[in-house]
Amino acid sequence: MTPVGAARFVPPDRSLPRLAEAARHCEGCDLFQEAGPTVFGAGLSDARLMLVGEQPGDQEDRAGRPFVGPAGRVLNEALDAAGVSRDGLYVTNAVKHFKFVRAERGQRRIHKTPSRTEVVACRPWLFAELEVVTPDVVVLMGATAAKALLGNDFRLTAHRQEVLRAPADSGAPELTADLVATVHPSSILRGPPETREEAMAGLVDDLRFAANLL
């Protein structure tokens, strides 16, 4: 079934508390059915720097807040190393419900990458967050977040430490923010241990690059 998309659930009154409340009742795609409550973005409504991840993970789904699990710990470490305080940011995800499959044995829920259809269905929430927060710089962490604003053909590895703009046909509203793409913190956890240090240094460098645009 084609998802109806989140647009019809986004209220006209644009404040973060109103958006977050409305997002709790979103049925814009099928992901709400199996996941816990909607994990909306969190942070300052007037943050100048916004970070966008992929979707909540298992722990975020339980806590109802973004980046509080293992990926959040990597992110916090990278922010510390880059000299950026998380308190001054707005942090959110491209998709607001946890997509997972159950392990064959046991109850473990294993992350599943959201489909393009789900990303497009959920984007109105991200657009609304961008409209309210009006950040100067947006860091897109990982391919899902980058493709949500830069189009499905976007290739992350070719565009590190570049100021990017959403192409006209991306479906994103006109944004004044500088967009910067980087790796997802989880990719550092999932990658081979011998490349971890280098990958982490890359994320830290990219965060520093973004902060220096402010």
Instruction: From the list ligand URA, ligand SF4, none, pick the one residue 54 interacts with, judged by a Cβ distance below 5 to 8 Å according to partner type.
Output: ligand URA
Token look-up 């109806």 returns 4
| Contact between 77 and 136 (Cβ < 8 Å) | no
- Judged by CB under 6 A, which of 8, 14, 27, 201 binds ligand SF4? 27
Binding mask 92-121 for ligand SF4 (x = CB under 6 A): ---xxx-----------------------x
Which one, 169 or 191, has the nearer CB to ligand URA? 191
Site for ligand URA in 143-202 (CB under 6 A): 186
CB of 82 to ligand URA, least distance (A): 18
Instruction: From the list ligand SF4, ligand URA, none, pick the one residue 53 interacts with, judged by a Cβ distance below 5 to 8 Å according to partner type.
Output: ligand URA
Which one, 28 or 69, has the nearer CB to ligand SF4? 28
Instruction: From the list ligand SF4, ligand URA, none, pick the one residue 27 interacts with, judged by a Cβ distance below 5 to 8 Å according to partner type.
Output: ligand SF4
Q: Is 158 helix (H, G, I), strand (E, B) or coil?
A: helix
Q: Write the CB contacts of 144 (distance below 8 Å, at least 6 apart in sequence).
A: 54, 55, 94, 95, 113, 114, 119, 184
Which one, 13 or 99, has the nearer CB to ligand URA? 99
Q: Write the CB contacts of 2 (distance below 8 Å, at least 6 apart in sequence).
A: 117
How far CA 204 is from CA of 7, 14, 167, in Å, comes to 34, 33, 26
Q: Does 56 bind ligand URA (CB under 6 A)?
A: yes
Element spanning 111, H or E: strand 109-111
Alpha helices in 28-142 (DSSP H): 58-63, 70-82, 116-133
- Judged by CB under 6 A, which of 19, 20, 28, 94 binds ligand SF4? 28
Site for ligand SF4 in 120-139 (CB under 6 A): 121-122, 125
Q: Does 31 bind ligand SF4 (CB under 6 A)?
A: yes
Cβ neighbourhood burial of 99 (10 Å; 0-12, 13-18, 19+): buried
| Contact between 120 and 28 (Cβ < 8 Å) | no
User: Residue numbers of the site for ligand SF4 (CB under 6 A)?
Assistant: 6, 23, 26-29, 31-32, 38, 95-97, 121-122, 125
User: Residue numbers of the site for ligand URA (CB under 6 A)?
Assistant: 53-57, 60, 66-67, 69, 71, 93, 186
